[in-house]
Chain A
Amino acid sequence: MPVIEIKDLSKSYHNKEALKGISFGVEHNEFFGLIGPDGAGKTTLMRIMASLLLADKGSVVMSGLDVVADYKKLRGILGYMPGSFSLYQDLTVEENLKFFATVFGTTIHENYHLIRDIYVQIEPFKKRRAGKLSGGMKQKLALCCALIHKPEILILDEPTTGVDAVSRKEFWEMLQRLQQQGLTIIVSTPYMDDAGKCNRVALMQDGNMLAVGTTAEITATYDETIFAIVSGEAFRCKQRLTTLQGVSSVYSFGKEIHVSVPVGTIGEPDIARWLQAEGISNFTVEIRQAQIEDVFLKQMQQ
């Protein structure tokens, strides 16, 4: 049985529908990712899960506790790290941590093992006020504060947005170690390539869930053939490809251009011949397995 069950969840702000009837489940000790751009509804969903916002319709049950009826109990087993830094800027690192421990009726000492790996990195600055920390350190402190009461479920709202690629990687590794300690983790991100680090993901857009599953399951639903083309004249090559008959989509993927076509219609030699005829000579074409971002782009078109 899933540890988190979300059924038909809807929420509107004035006339804007932020969530349009979302349902999914998260298994015990799973690392679950909510992937989507700004405005997809990720924060609304997480705030409802954290009992900070009431849904208009639908239900959220976590570890058998209802998010509305049992919110007090639920908060005891839930750790929540909001998207914007929301610790006390004028308290020191240590004071913030102590405050959160005390609010939850515990001590830093009691659950130190859970935060040790992360806390040692900021401990040298424990007398510094939180407002004076660098972005990376603030984030580590926020994570410690969300963990100090030994939650069963950890909810993190875009912990790595605006964070450089290296720090991002380190943060994800940190989360994976927490999962090994038995936590169920649900994390949101606008970066599609973060999907691979999660056990399962939900792709979100405009308050809808486009797909839910493992990366492999989701990418397997891609029902067209993708050609990856690399050319020394990427911009011109891409422009030409968009005019090719029978092509469903043409998107840049870093140095590659992904051209999607219905299965069995156009082959590699067709594309190569056509590009040559267009006067583009320096290129390679190969068939590429769909990535999460290919799926996302395709779902957005529909």
Chain B
Amino acid sequence: MEREIIIKAENMVKKFGNFVANHCLNFEVYRGEIFGFLGANGAGKTTAIKILCGLSYPTSGTISVAGFDVYRQREQIKRNIGYMSQKFSLYEDLSIRENIRFFAGIYGLKRDYIRKRTEELLEELQITHLGNELIADLPLGWRQKLAFSVAVFHRPQIVFLDEPTSGVDPATRRQFWDMINRAAAGGITVFVTTHYMDEAEYCDRLSIMVDGRIDALDTPAGLKEQLGVDNIDDVFLKLVRNKTV
């Protein structure tokens, strides 16, 4: 079956002066898949994500995201994606409802629709009674789940998650992945980074970056087979150590 390509990077290069952060990356992401974007610290993941989100221009290469070109159609890209990270997600001094209204408003959703969807969402998350609480007063686990819901509130084609579960308790981490799975089943493409190797197993496919290059890209099972190891931790160790030692 031919799968629909939603992100396509051909010979993507990003240089900062003499430093090459992304060496000629080539990869495709399919619609509705959970794509794990792994790599060592400083391997160039953040640089690549910024380009894919339309926040930074590549030095060269042909890259399209949700059918839009990263050089000329950055505003369309931004409208068609969602983004969340552990470091920045929601405004702490706004309430849950205010945060939703703010972000949904930025994406240009209609007021009536926002109001209706907000209540539906709060109900789904079983937090209707907390709707007017400030984000600052919510436990971290709740904030992260809510931040994800806000990131996909406008039904983007792709959601970028940058270490979304860092420091989150093990139960919430799993609930978070249930939400990711539901979003993907609903057709949203999930592009995710993580340092938890068990989470890497939950991805449909993984790419592993080392020193600005994608050194491996396959399903978790395929990667383990290629490298002759039985867990992703060892896949990662093998690829990264080979390079640096």
A178-186, A251-259, A271-279, A280-288 - the one binding chain B? A251-259
B26 at the interface (CB under 8 A from A): no
Query: Contact: A167 with B236, CB < 8 Å?
Result: no
A297 at the interface (CB under 8 A from B): yes
Whether B177 sits at the interface, judged by CB under 8 Å, is yes
Partner-contacting stretch, out of B4-12, B104-112, B164-172: B164-172
Contact A252 B174 (CB under 8 A): yes
Contact with A along B231-245 (1 / 0, CB 8 A): 111001100110010
**CB nearest neighbor in B for A252:** B174
Contact status of A252 and B166, CB under 8 A, knowing A164-B40, A166-B40: no
A297 lies within 8 A of B170 (CB):
yes
Q: Which of B112-159 contact A (CB under 8 A)?
A: 139-141
- Are the CB atoms of A136 and B42 closer together than 8 Å? yes
Please report whether the interface of chain B is mostly helix, strand, loop or mixed according to DSSP. helix
Cβ contact of B171, chosen from A134, A191, A297, cutoff 8 A? A297
What residues on B are CB-neighbors of A134 within 8 Å?
A: 41-42
15 additional A-B pairs beyond A164-B40, A166-B244, A293-B170, beta carbons within 8 Å, are A36-B169, A37-B169, A37-B170, A38-B140, A135-B41, A161-B166, A162-B41, A164-B39, A190-B166, A192-B170, A205-B169, A252-B198, A254-B201, A254-B231, A255-B201
Q: Tell me the dominant secondary structure on chain A's binding face.
A: mixed
Chain B residues in the interface with A (C-beta under 8 A): 39-43, 139-141, 163, 166-172, 174, 177, 181, 185, 195-202, 220, 231-233, 236-237, 240-241, 244
Q: Do A164 and B237 touch across chains, with their CB atoms under 8 A apart?
A: no
**Which B residues are in CB contact (< 8 Å) with A167?**
40-41
Bound complex: CA of A37 vs CA of B167, how far in Å? Answer: 5
Query: How far does the Cβ of A254 sit from chain B's closest Cβ, in whole Å?
Result: 4
Q: A241: shortest Cβ distance to chain B, in Å? A: 13
